[in-house]
Structure 1
């Protein structure tokens, strides 16, 4: 399909996807090291950034002199998020190893659009966080292995916690505390909650689109100067539990849209006022969960 800018929609015209082949003048082994610089992997991807005219699904097949192969795949966030992309990639890999007839049949669903408000209503109600000119942002990739997470938890002061956090909650809290460095400046962290199976609506696991809701956790100046790691862990856990419980009551598409839109507007207006450090976390859709 193709994206239509003038009338924001996806035209399912069955024109196929863009496929590229590239040859790398090296072996694959150096790129399999866990400490490889992620910037070195950019050339294996067909596109570094997405634009209005970018294909929705470009694929680049990279051949190495040793016979190894790396497939770089970019898919537009307009049609799917990481959950569906992971499932598609996993089944594709299975088909290559054991044969196309022995893998699960993926029938992607486009039913999410039927649950949301019509296009005529969205421009008036949808909140989009404006990008400020000259706004400085920074991104960083962190890799935590299971043993490292266990070691962090063992050495942490976790007394007084009402519930044990998930690995995702604990790791992001550790990063949050490290980034604050004892500063009392207000800050906010955000996780994205996958709404598949979280509401009373029929949103299937194979549903295309972006059925997600941000979970915002705030730290205010009036909080204790001596706030400890376990206090931040509790903030993250309480906000996550509250959001999941709210989502579990949603049984109408309009209510789902309004809930997501309101939370984005609330955080956006707070961010626009300034004086706030914001940390947005993305996560591996398969290996981590709330």
Structure 2
């Protein structure tokens, strides 16, 4: 879809408590937002002091927009710049922690875009929130809605850092955003090619990540004329890597990061790259297992 979207903002409001919730009423679960209210507080820094803020007192921003086209036009050939217009604005350090944009198309179709600050939750928590919201809306008598659990502080106690924590602001720079679509059968073929004795069951993420990294390194070596070292940073959901593993409904930030490294003399074979990623993922899991076991 090469024609710019015609968007008309119909409604913009902040949903939040008019006053702080009394302690004796905080256990009531009246809505999906109530259930996903983190028990903990986040810390924001002003110019001189550190002040804790309850994220839900900041409210959630809700936007309704009218899109003057039909939804199938966008789905037929999605474009990054078009899809970005269906999402709420970027969350900054002191804005609402949750933003929702409901876009209504001329054909009757609806698109819901959600933005959640990484200061309070990760992608898995966002997915859990969306599933719980959808299930609540359907009001099915046979569908079980699993409420979230916020126990992060008991697993990873808060650290008393000697220096103030500054607001998190993304560094704006030149970057290229690309969208690649891998069909299911092609991913199955890719996984089969990545099988080795050390990794007999490569995952979809490992296989696709290895392919993209392989192509990026090959392009870099081709442009430079000489091989060079490369590092891959990969975010990891640590819920299933703890001992014991945590259920998916544990809300908060249970995310870590690995840095897989390829030397300049390493061969850029798919199987070898998958093995390197698996090795670092395994060591990452062992590290967090020791932490939760008191090691």
Q: Same fold (TM over 0.5)?
A: yes
**CA-atom RMSD, angstroms?**
3.4
Does structure 1 retain, via aligned residues, the 8 Å contact 2:121–2:252?
yes
> Is the strand fraction higher in 1 or 2?
2
TM-superposed deviation, 1:100: 6.1
TM-superposed deviation, 1:108: 2.6
Runs of 4+ in 1 over 6 A off after TM superposition: 128-132
* 1:73 alignment partner in structure 2: 114
* 1:108 alignment partner in structure 2: 148
Does structure 2 retain, via aligned residues, the 8 Å contact 1:157–1:229?
yes
Alignment of 1:90-239 (within 5 A): 90-96=131-137, 98-99=138-139, 102-121=142-161, 123=163, 136-153=174-191, 156=193, 162-181=199-218, 183=221, 184-200=227-243, 203-221=246-264, 223-224=265-266, 226-239=267-280
Does structure 1 retain, via aligned residues, the 8 Å contact 2:42–2:120?
no
SS in 2 for 1:31: helix
Q: How many residues align?
A: 246
* 2:82 alignment partner in structure 1: 40
* 1:5 alignment partner in structure 2: 44
Q: 1:31 aligns with which of 74, 80, 102?
A: 74
- Output the CA distance in 2 between the equivalents of 1:17 and 1:101: 28
- Output the CA distance in 2 between the equivalents of 1:129 and 1:60: 23
- Output the CA distance in 2 between the equivalents of 1:13 and 1:229: 46
Does structure 1 retain, via aligned residues, the 8 Å contact 2:100–2:113?
yes
Cα deviation code 1:188-228 (max 9, x no counterpart): 1122221113213685432232111212210112x34x442
Does structure 1 retain, via aligned residues, the 8 Å contact 2:155–2:292?
no
TM-superposed deviation, 1:178: 0.7
When Rg is computed on C-alpha atoms for both structures, the one with the higher figure is: 2
Bigger Cα displacement from structure 2, 111-120 vs 56-65: 111-120
Residue ranges of structure 1 left out of the alignment (5+ in a row): 256-290
- Output the CA distance in 2 between the equivalents of 1:166 and 1:153: 7
Residue ranges of structure 2 left out of the alignment (5+ in a row): 1-15, 17-40, 222-226
* 2:8 alignment partner in structure 1: none
SS in 1 for 2:249: coil
